[in-house]
Structure 1
Amino acid sequence: MLTLFAALPVPDAVAERLLPLQTDLKGASWREREHFHITLAYFGEISEPAAETLDDEIGEIACPQFDLEIEGVGWFGRKEPHAAFATVKRTPDLEELSRQCRKIAGRLGLDKDARPFKPHITLAYCNNTPLEAAMAWSERWQVVRAGPWTADRFHLFESIPRPGKKSVYDPVAEYPLGL
């Protein structure tokens, strides 16, 4: 079984802009730069034959290249923060690419993520982070802006667990945009 998700890569210049934000948040387990991405759709655990079908279907998505920007930060877990992130500005093309990926997941009967799409880059997972700490961190970094940059491709990633360590995200397929 493979754990797969579709995501946009984050360019080095944008990642470098986000790394300084990874400080002063109690309970934060900061993500490494190579884990930065913008999830379009989470597919869950699937068999290799299903992954091949998914790859074929996603490879048929037609979407233009589009620009992305970072505009501030936030956290998930309203009163009990469980993740801190950089907010990615919503655009119609970004929304449509995510919608197409999720539609394919539904058509193939995959473990589609039921949460609404919120474009972001996860910077940390939080453990027992006080709400006040998340609020203070967010207030400090709300002014952060990065980009714009052009999304010219997206990937199918496999999440590979490592005993006692953070998972590795391995890009197993690449799909160009704008062709």
Structure 2
Amino acid sequence: MPRLFTALELPSDIAFSLSLLRGGLPGARWIDPENYHITLRFIGDVDHRTANEVAGTLAQVSRPGFELSLSGLGTFGGRKPHSVWAGVSAGDKLRELQADLERRLQRLGLDPDRRKFSPHVTLARLKTASQGDVAAYLALRGDFRTPPFEVGRFVLLSSRDSRGGGPYIMEEAYPLAA
């Protein structure tokens, strides 16, 4: 049974810039740069018939390409931070693409995603990092920014049941209009 999600890939130069942020945070388990992505919609564990239906409906998406950039760092988890992320400067075209995917997947009978769409790139998982260490890390690196980059496609990825961070397998790629 595949575990699926849709995502945007990052250009290699952007992934390299993100990789330079690794280190300096005790208790962090860093994501490998080849596994950096921006999740559009987590689908979850589905049977093979549903996986084929998902792939088919995603092939019908017709949206324009767009530019994105990354800006700032933050954490999820409040007082008990559990991950460090790089923010995405999201425009209307990204949000429209994500909403289109959400609608199409719900039409297949998949449950709506309960989490509000918050585009980001996960950099590290945290288990034992202290609030103080996380605050110090963010104070030193929180002004991270990338130049804009073109988004020309989205992908359907699968993962095995793991503790986050990959490895991911690209099942399909879906081009966006020029």
Return the TM-score normalized by structure 1.
0.93
Partners of 2:26 and 2:144 in 1: CA distance: 20
Other structure's SS at 1:79 match = coil
User: Where does residue 22 of structure 2 map in the other structure?
Assistant: 22
User: Where does residue 170 of structure 2 map in the other structure?
Assistant: 171
> Which residues of 2 match residues 1-179 of structure 1 at below 5 A?
1-161=1-161, 167-178=166-177
Native 8 Å contact 1:71 1:86 kept in 2: yes
The amino acid across from 2:39 in the alignment is T
The amino acid across from 1:19 in the alignment is S
Partners of 1:119 and 1:136 in 2: CA distance: 23
Partners of 2:171 and 2:98 in 1: CA distance: 18
The gaps in structure 2 that reach 5 residues or longer are none
Give the deviation of 1:97 after TM superposition.
Answer: 0.9
Partners of 1:45 and 1:112 in 2: CA distance: 14
Give the deviation of 1:165 after TM superposition.
Answer: 9.3
Native 8 Å contact 1:44 1:110 kept in 2: no
Native 8 Å contact 1:160 1:170 kept in 2: no
Go from structure 1 to structure 2 and tell me whether the alpha carbon gap of 1:87 and 1:155 turns closer, same or farther (over 3 Å shift). same
Give the deviation of 1:42 after TM superposition.
Answer: 0.3
The amino acid across from 2:160 in the alignment is I
Give the deviation of 1:69 after TM superposition.
Answer: 0.3
Partners of 1:165 and 1:56 in 2: CA distance: 27
Native 8 Å contact 1:7 1:41 kept in 2: yes
Go from structure 1 to structure 2 and tell me whether the alpha carbon gap of 1:29 and 1:112 turns closer, same or farther (over 3 Å shift). farther
Partners of 1:32 and 1:112 in 2: CA distance: 29
Partners of 1:177 and 1:165 in 2: CA distance: 28
Return the TM-score normalized by structure 2.
0.94
Give the deviation of 1:111 after TM superposition.
Answer: 4.7
Native 8 Å contact 1:42 1:112 kept in 2: no
Q: Which piece of structure 1 moves more, 110-119 or 76-85?
A: 110-119
Q: Which piece of structure 1 moves more, 74-83 or 99-108?
A: 99-108
Give the deviation of 1:166 after TM superposition.
Answer: 5.8
Go from structure 1 to structure 2 and tell me whether the alpha carbon gap of 1:121 and 1:166 turns closer, same or farther (over 3 Å shift). closer
Q: Which piece of structure 1 moves more, 135-144 or 76-85?
A: 135-144
**Richer in strand (by share):** 1
Go from structure 1 to structure 2 and tell me whether the alpha carbon gap of 1:64 and 1:166 turns closer, same or farther (over 3 Å shift). closer
Q: Deviations over 1:66-106 (max 9, x none)?
A: 00101111111011111101111111000111111122222
Other structure's SS at 1:56 match = helix
What is the number of equivalent residue pairs in this alignment?
A: 178
Q: Deviations over 1:122-157 (max 9, x none)?
A: 111110221222222112111111120000011000
